Amino acid sequence: MIIGAHAIIQSKAPDADRAFFRDILGFRHLDVGGGWLVFALPPSEFAVHPSSRNDVHELFFMCDDIEEFRAAMRAQGIRCTRLQTLSWGQLTRVTLPGGGAVGVYQPRHGRPRSSRPRKVGGDSRSTKRAT
């Protein structure tokens, strides 16, 4: 039933932010008309965290070497926040051309294998081993 996920980044300068993801990060994309780009994502995961409010969602990109990522951004003149070392990974935030920011981290946690969700009402066993 579920075939994928579609994340949205709200931006005051969408053309500049689209160019960042296309030209700097090199995300594959499809122009669905009028310069409206939809980007392919690398393998992804999501988690549900406790909160005092509903409808609060965040997007983080993951990398395998956060220092290398930060150096590559600096070489392009792109600002990243100071590195935070957390129990679940090392985190920085990248300032997008439109003024917003997106988190990028090197995970320390296990990662589930990618799979297609089962049909509604189907078996929802968890993956025992993370890869």
Cβ neighbours around 98 below 10 Å, total = 17
* Average pLDDT across the chain, whole number: 89
Per-residue pLDDT at 131: 47
CA pair distance 126, 118, nearest whole angstrom? 11
- Chain centroid offset of residue 90 CA: 14
| Residue found under tokens 């990109």 | 61
pLDDT tens-place string over residues 43-73:
888 899 999 999 989 999 999 999 999 999 9
In the sheet that holds 89-95, the strands lie side by side as: 60-62, 101-107, 89-95, 84-86
Question: What is the band of 113 on the pLDDT scale with cuts at 50, 70, 90?
Answer: confident
Identify whether the C-beta of residue 65 lies closer than 8 Å to the C-beta of residue 83: no
Per-residue pLDDT at 22: 96
Identify whether the C-beta of residue 97 lies closer than 8 Å to the C-beta of residue 13: yes
Could you give all domains of the chain from N- to C-terminal order, each with its CATH number? 14-42+57-107 (3.10.180.10)
Give every CB contact of residue 73 below 8 A, 6+ residues apart in sequence.
24, 79, 80, 94
